[in-house]
Structure 1
Amino acid sequence: MNALPEVSLQGRVVLVTGGTQGIGEGIARAAAEAGASRIAITGRDVARGRAVADSLGVPAAFIPADLADAEATARIVDQAEAALGPVDALVNAAGLTDRGTIIDTSVELWDRLFAVNARAPFILTQAMVRRLKALKRPGAIVNVITMSSHGGQPFLTAYAASKGALATLTKNTAHALRADCIRVNGINLGWADTPGEHAIQARDGHPPDWLARASPAQPFGRLIEPRDVAGLAVYLLSDAAAMMTGALIDFDQNVMGAYG
């Protein structure tokens, strides 16, 4: 019997958007622990980005970029490859969220969320795939989506719609790229303890101890943490998932569609 493939990123060059904090940072650190030879991360906080890149323990590059800027986003893959060589693996972990119902969501908010949550992954995927196809190399992409892509709460209209678009993009590109051995999978993430969530809770007027209050009410006693999902992302990038593409994995302690 053949041995099971290892969950390893040995020799891979990995690009993680939103890698300066939260889920993206957790995935970047897990990729380094799994043997990635070089890692590029993106983000808007230059000081934080450089600090994280310097702490990964492997050759790393921080690429400052605002994913709401299409031109800046279009340069990221070239910048990563100029610093580290051809990118084998892409994680679209950066995301933007904001409140708004179908009644009060502005066109500006809708456009801003779609720019970061759907357009940026499209631009990055396109750039990486063009390079891989030219080099005739395989590759893997993981899109960090959300459970809200199933429909979402009424107060997250634009966010849920933008992540729903990313879920469809995941399946569409997975199907299109099979013959090129480029795999695309997505993770529908549940409620997570991240710096971004803390900022939202503070902005919405919740007390500083909101996490301590929310955690006991969760089925497993706490919110999802970056380390929880990082291992799944690394698995999906690795050869252990070599036969898996087009999957949208619900990563949550609540079961979609179950009631009572």
Structure 2
Amino acid sequence: MKPALICLMITSPDGTLHPSKLTQSPDGSRSDWSTLYEQIHAEHGGDAWMVGRVTMAEMSKAGPHPVENPQAVARPAHFANRAAKSFGIAIDRSGTLHFDKGELFGDHIVVLLGHDVPDSHLAELAQDGVSYLLSDTEEMNIGAMLETLNRELGITRILLEGGAGTNGALLAAGLVDEISLVVAPALDARKGADRVIEFGEEGLAGKVELSLLACTPLPHGAVHLRYKTVAPSSGA
């Protein structure tokens, strides 16, 4: 069974990604909106969060540290901590992320990798106590990999938290069940600013539709928008 996948982000009315770039507001500050975001995060009750390679690299900050004389490594999966209660999942097709331990923010780290990531990188992840799962196909089938995480680690509800390319790709693949946005009363509007969701030149037209679940005013001028994702209607 695939875990429920909820895309949870904080954004501005112009749909941009980085709260640190937002203007100030008389109704609240960046710290207020961050607190609201964390509250919504907790209310969703996820047992895992998931990000792409770029976002995880910003959080981990570790550099490569190859294992000397690595022994045989497990393929296609190595689960270092099956007893963990919460998980942080990273999608890293080429195997370029590094860690210095198996946890981040108290959550056990699991990395989803392309099928051709070398043994040397797997040995480094295993030495650091990080779990990993390799794709069994050339094109990563994230849906199948998430089903494996449900079966092997008991993960049932994942909060997808960017970046924009990862959010867009999983929406296009039909894997996202809900979009949950905390909209702050502020603007970015920089030319070329990163958006919450991106998907190539073609965008998401004809790939996903949204149905409003709730629109809830929050303190400090923010709003919580929730949308259920549905398959495109015929003729779209």
TM-score range (shorter-chain normalised) is: 0.3 to 0.5
Q: Which structure shows the higher strand fraction?
A: 2
Give the structure-2-normalised TM-score: 0.34
Higher relative contact order (CA 8 A, sep 6+): 2
